[in-house]
Amino acid sequence: QKEVEQDPGPLSVPEGAIVSLNCTYSNSAFQYFMWYRQYSRKGPELLMYTYSSGNKEDGRFTAQVDKSSKYISLFIRDSQPSDSATYLCAFYFLSGGYNKLIFGAGTRLAVHP
């Protein structure tokens, strides 16, 4: 079983739709939960991070973590064509002095006008 599972998509939605992106994970040691956004032919950029179960909101974006189910989500409200990108979930943990950041494979999102 992979440590992180993320549906690669592609996900195609109309402008204004609510988008839900999800990742599941298996490692209980994961401490920080992050979402990166990657535009085509660019490097990833951090969008949101959290370290506790619950919701964290930033503008049109909401990150949700459910540690008991080992499930994280990113919701995008009022989606815009500029949101078209690949979204990668990422998990950080410290284990025996070795610092590790693990990424999901990414979900490709297309928002069409």
Q: Which is nearer to another protein, 43 or 113 (CB)?
A: 43
Q: Which is nearer to another protein, 11 or 17 (CB)?
A: 11
Report cis status (omega within 30 of 0) of the bond before 44. no
Token look-up 């032919």 returns: 41
Q: Which is nearer to another protein, 23 or 65 (CB)?
A: 23
Sheet strands side by side (includes 19-25)? 4-6, 19-25, 71-76, 61-66, 54-58
Residues forming the site for another protein (CB under 8 A): 4, 6, 8, 32, 41-46, 49, 88, 92, 94, 99-101, 103-106
Least Cβ distance, residue 113 to another protein (angstroms): 27
